[in-house]
A and B are shown apart, each in its own frame.
Chain A
Protein backbone atom coordinates (compact mmCIF):
# COMPACT_ATOMS: atom_id res chain seq x y z
CA UNK A 1 0.00 0.00 0.00
CA UNK A 2 1.64 3.19 -1.21
CA UNK A 3 0.39 6.21 0.69
CA UNK A 4 0.56 9.93 -0.09
CA UNK A 5 -0.12 12.35 2.77
CA UNK A 6 -1.36 15.75 1.63
CA UNK A 7 -0.01 18.89 3.20
CA UNK A 8 -1.99 22.12 3.14
CA UNK A 9 -0.87 25.28 4.93
CA UNK A 10 -2.17 25.07 8.50
CA UNK A 11 -2.25 21.26 8.64
CA UNK A 12 -0.49 20.03 11.78
CA UNK A 13 -1.19 16.29 12.11
CA UNK A 14 0.80 15.08 9.13
CA UNK A 15 3.67 13.75 11.24
CA UNK A 16 1.28 11.74 13.41
CA UNK A 17 -0.07 10.23 10.22
CA UNK A 18 3.46 9.46 8.96
CA UNK A 19 4.18 7.56 12.20
CA UNK A 20 1.00 5.50 11.93
CA UNK A 21 1.57 4.70 8.25
CA UNK A 22 5.26 3.91 8.68
CA UNK A 23 4.52 1.49 11.49
CA UNK A 24 1.74 -0.48 9.77
CA UNK A 25 2.72 -0.22 6.11
CA UNK A 26 6.47 -0.66 6.65
CA UNK A 27 6.83 1.77 3.82
CA UNK A 28 7.54 5.48 3.92
CA UNK A 29 4.59 7.62 2.81
CA UNK A 30 5.09 10.48 0.37
CA UNK A 31 4.28 13.98 1.60
CA UNK A 32 2.57 15.98 -1.13
CA UNK A 33 2.25 19.76 -1.05
CA UNK A 34 -1.21 21.07 -1.93
CA UNK A 35 0.04 23.06 -4.92
CA UNK A 36 1.11 19.90 -6.74
CA UNK A 37 -1.20 18.88 -9.56
CA UNK A 38 -0.32 15.18 -9.65
CA UNK A 39 -0.09 12.45 -7.03
CA UNK A 40 3.12 10.36 -6.97
CA UNK A 41 2.94 7.56 -9.55
CA UNK A 42 1.50 4.40 -8.02
CA UNK A 43 -0.30 6.07 -5.12
CA UNK A 44 -2.88 3.65 -3.68
CA UNK A 45 -4.04 5.69 -0.72
CA UNK A 46 -4.37 9.46 -0.31
CA UNK A 47 -4.48 10.68 3.29
CA UNK A 48 -5.75 14.11 4.30
CA UNK A 49 -4.60 14.67 7.87
CA UNK A 50 -5.97 16.94 10.56
CA UNK A 51 -5.19 20.52 11.41
CA UNK A 52 -6.51 23.91 10.51
CA UNK A 53 -5.96 24.27 6.78
CA UNK A 54 -5.98 27.91 5.68
CA UNK A 55 -6.81 28.92 9.24
CA UNK A 56 -10.33 27.49 8.89
CA UNK A 57 -11.18 30.68 6.97
CA UNK A 58 -14.70 30.88 5.51
CA UNK A 59 -15.55 27.31 6.62
CA UNK A 60 -13.35 24.47 7.82
CA UNK A 61 -11.84 22.82 4.75
CA UNK A 62 -13.49 25.17 2.24
CA UNK A 63 -10.24 26.69 0.96
CA UNK A 64 -8.26 23.45 0.91
CA UNK A 65 -11.03 21.82 -1.12
CA UNK A 66 -10.12 24.27 -3.92
CA UNK A 67 -6.36 23.56 -3.84
CA UNK A 68 -4.75 22.33 -7.08
CA UNK A 69 -3.99 18.84 -5.72
CA UNK A 70 -7.69 18.19 -5.06
CA UNK A 71 -8.36 17.77 -8.76
CA UNK A 72 -5.92 14.84 -8.76
CA UNK A 73 -7.51 13.47 -5.57
CA UNK A 74 -10.96 13.53 -7.17
CA UNK A 75 -9.62 11.72 -10.24
CA UNK A 76 -7.93 9.18 -7.94
CA UNK A 77 -11.23 8.58 -6.11
CA UNK A 78 -13.12 8.26 -9.40
CA UNK A 79 -10.64 5.58 -10.49
CA UNK A 80 -11.50 3.68 -7.29
CA UNK A 81 -8.41 4.77 -5.34
CA UNK A 82 -8.46 4.83 -1.53
CA UNK A 83 -8.87 8.12 0.33
CA UNK A 84 -8.74 8.65 4.10
CA UNK A 85 -9.68 12.02 5.60
CA UNK A 86 -9.29 12.56 9.34
CA UNK A 87 -10.63 15.58 11.23
CA UNK A 88 -9.83 18.60 9.04
CA UNK A 89 -9.18 16.03 6.29
CA UNK A 90 -12.79 14.82 6.68
CA UNK A 91 -13.99 18.43 6.48
CA UNK A 92 -11.92 18.96 3.32
CA UNK A 93 -13.29 15.91 1.52
CA UNK A 94 -16.90 16.80 2.37
CA UNK A 95 -16.27 20.35 1.11
CA UNK A 96 -14.76 18.84 -2.03
CA UNK A 97 -17.89 16.71 -2.53
CA UNK A 98 -16.13 13.35 -2.13
CA UNK A 99 -18.45 12.52 0.76
CA UNK A 100 -21.95 13.88 1.46
CA UNK A 101 -22.98 16.17 4.32
CA UNK A 102 -21.03 18.79 6.23
CA UNK A 103 -19.33 19.33 9.58
CA UNK A 104 -20.93 22.10 11.62
CA UNK A 105 -19.81 23.90 14.75
CA UNK A 106 -20.01 21.55 17.76
CA UNK A 107 -23.51 21.75 19.24
CA UNK A 108 -22.09 22.88 22.61
CA UNK A 109 -19.86 25.47 20.90
CA UNK A 110 -16.77 24.19 22.76
CA UNK A 111 -13.62 22.89 21.15
CA UNK A 112 -13.54 19.25 22.24
CA UNK A 113 -10.16 17.77 23.10
CA UNK A 114 -10.61 14.42 24.81
CA UNK A 115 -10.94 10.70 24.16
CA UNK A 116 -14.17 9.32 22.79
CA UNK A 117 -15.41 5.78 22.15
CA UNK A 118 -16.24 4.67 18.63
CA UNK A 119 -18.26 1.70 17.44
CA UNK A 120 -17.23 -0.11 14.26
CA UNK A 121 -20.35 -0.39 12.10
CA UNK A 122 -18.94 -2.89 9.61
CA UNK A 123 -15.76 -4.92 9.38
CA UNK A 124 -15.94 -5.96 5.72
CA UNK A 125 -14.08 -2.93 4.34
CA UNK A 126 -10.43 -2.24 3.56
CA UNK A 127 -10.39 0.29 6.41
CA UNK A 128 -11.93 -1.87 9.12
CA UNK A 129 -11.10 -5.53 8.39
CA UNK A 130 -8.89 -5.88 11.49
CA UNK A 131 -11.78 -5.04 13.80
CA UNK A 132 -14.85 -7.12 14.59
CA UNK A 133 -18.20 -5.68 13.56
CA UNK A 134 -19.62 -3.90 16.59
CA UNK A 135 -16.22 -3.52 18.26
CA UNK A 136 -15.69 -0.40 20.34
CA UNK A 137 -12.40 1.42 20.57
CA UNK A 138 -10.99 4.56 22.07
CA UNK A 139 -9.99 7.46 19.84
CA UNK A 140 -8.77 10.94 20.72
CA UNK A 141 -10.70 13.82 19.25
CA UNK A 142 -9.72 17.47 18.90
CA UNK A 143 -12.13 19.61 16.95
CA UNK A 144 -14.40 22.63 17.09
CA UNK A 145 -16.48 21.69 14.05
CA UNK A 146 -17.31 18.00 14.18
CA UNK A 147 -21.08 18.09 14.25
CA UNK A 148 -21.97 15.91 11.26
CA UNK A 149 -25.03 17.20 9.41
CA UNK A 150 -26.92 16.11 6.31
CA UNK A 151 -30.55 16.15 5.28
CA UNK A 152 -32.76 13.27 6.39
CA UNK A 153 -32.83 11.69 2.94
CA UNK A 154 -29.01 11.58 2.88
CA UNK A 155 -28.83 10.20 6.42
CA UNK A 156 -31.41 7.51 5.56
CA UNK A 157 -29.43 6.60 2.45
CA UNK A 158 -26.15 6.39 4.41
CA UNK A 159 -27.76 4.08 6.95
CA UNK A 160 -29.71 2.08 4.38
CA UNK A 161 -26.63 1.45 2.24
CA UNK A 162 -24.39 0.66 5.19
CA UNK A 163 -22.16 3.67 4.66
CA UNK A 164 -21.87 4.70 8.29
CA UNK A 165 -18.34 3.68 9.28
CA UNK A 166 -18.15 4.67 12.94
CA UNK A 167 -20.53 6.05 15.54
CA UNK A 168 -19.85 7.71 18.87
CA UNK A 169 -20.77 4.96 21.32
CA UNK A 170 -20.30 6.63 24.71
CA UNK A 171 -21.43 10.26 24.42
CA UNK A 172 -22.27 12.13 21.23
CA UNK A 173 -20.43 15.23 22.42
CA UNK A 174 -20.49 17.30 19.25
CA UNK A 175 -24.15 16.75 18.39
CA UNK A 176 -23.59 14.75 15.20
CA UNK A 177 -26.70 13.52 13.40
CA UNK A 178 -27.39 9.93 14.41
CA UNK A 179 -24.10 9.90 16.36
CA UNK A 180 -22.17 9.57 13.10
CA UNK A 181 -18.40 9.91 13.55
CA UNK A 182 -17.31 8.63 10.13
CA UNK A 183 -18.75 7.65 6.76
CA UNK A 184 -17.79 5.72 3.63
CA UNK A 185 -18.33 6.50 -0.03
CA UNK A 186 -20.71 4.11 -1.85
CA UNK A 187 -17.74 2.05 -3.16
CA UNK A 188 -16.33 1.87 0.41
CA UNK A 189 -13.00 3.29 -0.77
CA UNK A 190 -13.28 6.78 0.69
CA UNK A 191 -13.46 7.12 4.48
CA UNK A 192 -13.83 10.33 6.45
CA UNK A 193 -13.95 10.54 10.25
CA UNK A 194 -13.52 13.21 12.90
CA UNK A 195 -11.54 11.42 15.69
CA UNK A 196 -7.85 10.56 15.37
CA UNK A 197 -7.06 6.81 15.24
CA UNK A 198 -3.50 7.75 14.20
CA UNK A 199 -2.88 9.10 17.70
CA UNK A 200 -3.22 5.68 19.34
CA UNK A 201 -0.97 3.35 17.37
CA UNK A 202 1.87 2.66 19.81
CA UNK A 203 2.00 1.70 23.51
CA UNK A 204 4.13 4.81 24.00
CA UNK A 205 1.10 6.89 22.96
CA UNK A 206 -0.98 5.24 25.67
CA UNK A 207 -2.60 2.57 23.55
CA UNK A 208 -2.97 0.92 20.17
CA UNK A 209 -6.74 1.30 19.75
CA UNK A 210 -6.39 3.06 16.41
CA UNK A 211 -3.83 0.69 14.90
CA UNK A 212 -6.38 -1.71 13.32
CA UNK A 213 -7.31 1.04 10.83
CA UNK A 214 -3.77 1.16 9.47
CA UNK A 215 -3.22 -2.59 9.77
CA UNK A 216 -6.43 -3.13 7.78
CA UNK A 217 -5.20 -0.84 5.03
CA UNK A 218 -1.77 -2.51 5.06
CA UNK A 219 -3.45 -5.89 4.49
CA UNK A 220 -5.63 -4.59 1.62
Chain B
Protein backbone atom coordinates (compact mmCIF):
# COMPACT_ATOMS: atom_id res chain seq x y z
CA UNK B 1 0.00 0.00 0.00
CA UNK B 2 1.29 3.45 -0.87
CA UNK B 3 0.86 6.58 1.21
CA UNK B 4 1.41 9.95 -0.41
CA UNK B 5 2.34 12.71 2.00
CA UNK B 6 2.01 16.25 0.67
CA UNK B 7 3.80 18.88 2.73
CA UNK B 8 3.21 22.61 2.29
CA UNK B 9 4.35 25.68 4.19
CA UNK B 10 1.46 26.88 6.34
CA UNK B 11 -0.60 29.79 5.10
CA UNK B 12 1.03 32.98 6.21
CA UNK B 13 4.54 31.51 6.21
CA UNK B 14 6.63 33.30 3.58
CA UNK B 15 7.46 31.02 0.64
CA UNK B 16 10.27 32.76 -1.25
CA UNK B 17 10.70 29.82 -3.66
CA UNK B 18 7.05 29.98 -4.63
CA UNK B 19 7.42 33.73 -5.13
CA UNK B 20 10.46 33.27 -7.37
CA UNK B 21 8.63 30.64 -9.45
CA UNK B 22 5.65 32.97 -9.81
CA UNK B 23 7.95 35.77 -10.97
CA UNK B 24 9.59 33.51 -13.54
CA UNK B 25 6.22 32.37 -14.87
CA UNK B 26 5.07 35.98 -15.19
CA UNK B 27 8.28 36.79 -17.07
CA UNK B 28 7.57 33.90 -19.44
CA UNK B 29 4.31 35.56 -20.34
CA UNK B 30 2.01 33.54 -18.06
CA UNK B 31 0.40 36.68 -16.76
CA UNK B 32 -2.58 34.80 -15.37
CA UNK B 33 -0.40 33.33 -12.57
CA UNK B 34 -1.04 34.87 -9.17
CA UNK B 35 0.39 33.47 -5.94
CA UNK B 36 2.53 30.31 -6.22
CA UNK B 37 3.23 28.03 -3.25
CA UNK B 38 5.78 25.24 -3.37
CA UNK B 39 5.83 22.12 -1.25
CA UNK B 40 7.06 18.55 -1.39
CA UNK B 41 5.60 15.12 -1.90
CA UNK B 42 6.90 12.03 -0.13
CA UNK B 43 5.72 8.59 -1.27
CA UNK B 44 5.85 5.82 1.30
CA UNK B 45 5.62 2.16 0.41
CA UNK B 46 3.91 0.61 3.45
CA UNK B 47 3.63 -3.02 4.46
CA UNK B 48 0.01 -2.66 5.48
CA UNK B 49 -3.27 -3.95 4.08
CA UNK B 50 -5.70 -1.77 5.97
CA UNK B 51 -6.07 1.69 4.39
CA UNK B 52 -7.24 3.40 7.57
CA UNK B 53 -4.37 1.89 9.53
CA UNK B 54 -1.90 2.96 6.82
CA UNK B 55 -3.21 6.52 6.92
CA UNK B 56 -2.93 6.71 10.72
CA UNK B 57 0.65 5.44 10.60
CA UNK B 58 1.65 7.82 7.79
CA UNK B 59 0.14 10.74 9.70
CA UNK B 60 2.18 9.77 12.75
CA UNK B 61 5.33 9.69 10.58
CA UNK B 62 4.48 13.11 9.17
CA UNK B 63 4.03 14.59 12.65
CA UNK B 64 7.23 13.02 14.01
CA UNK B 65 9.60 13.62 11.11
CA UNK B 66 8.33 14.34 7.61
CA UNK B 67 6.77 17.72 8.39
CA UNK B 68 7.75 20.39 10.88
CA UNK B 69 4.31 21.39 12.11
CA UNK B 70 5.67 24.70 13.41
CA UNK B 71 5.86 25.92 9.82
CA UNK B 72 4.35 23.20 7.64
CA UNK B 73 1.01 21.49 7.17
CA UNK B 74 0.60 18.04 5.64
CA UNK B 75 -1.99 15.84 3.98
CA UNK B 76 -1.88 12.05 3.67
CA UNK B 77 -3.56 10.16 0.84
CA UNK B 78 -3.61 6.40 0.44
CA UNK B 79 -3.12 5.12 -3.08
CA UNK B 80 -4.05 1.56 -4.01
Q: Tell me the A residues contacting B by CB distance below 8 Å.
A: 58-59, 62, 66, 94-95, 100-102, 104-109, 147, 149-151, 175
Contacts and interface: CB of A to CB of B under 8 A. Distances in A.
B17 A104 contact: no
A66 B68 CA distance: 13
Given A58-B65, A58-B66, A66-B65, A102 B71 contact: yes
A175 B13 CA distance: 12
Considering the complex of A and B, which 9 residue pairs feature the smallest CB-CB distances, nearest first?
A102-B70, A102-B71, A109-B16, A107-B16, A102-B68, A105-B16, A59-B68, A149-B71, A109-B20
22 contacts: A58-B65, A58-B66, A59-B68, A62-B65, A66-B65, A100-B70, A102-B68, A102-B70, A102-B71, A104-B9, A104-B13, A104-B14, A105-B17, A107-B14, A107-B16, A109-B16, A109-B17, A109-B20, A147-B14, A149-B71, A151-B70, A175-B14
Interface residues of B, number: 11
A177 to B, nearest CB: 10
Interface of A is mostly: loop
B68 A108 contact: no
Nearest to A103: B71
Interface string B2-18: 00000001000110110
B44 to A, nearest CB: 13
A104 B9 CA distance: 10
A66 to B, nearest CB: 7
Given A58-B65, A62-B65, A106 B71 contact: no
Interface of B: 9, 13-14, 16-17, 20, 65-66, 68, 70-71
B16 A106 contact: yes
Contacts, number: 35
Given A58-B66, A95-B68, A104-B71, A149 B13 contact: yes
Contacts of A101: 70
B74 to A, nearest CB: 13
B53 to A, nearest CB: 23
Contacts of A104: 9, 13-14, 71
Contacts of B68: 59, 62, 95, 102
Given A95-B68, A149-B13, 5 more contacts: A62-B68, A94-B70, A101-B70, A105-B16, A105-B17
Nearest to B19: A109
A96 to B, nearest CB: 11
Nearest to A151: B70
Contacts of B14: 104, 107, 147, 149, 175
Contacts of B66: 58
Contacts of A107: 14, 16
Contacts of B17: 105, 109
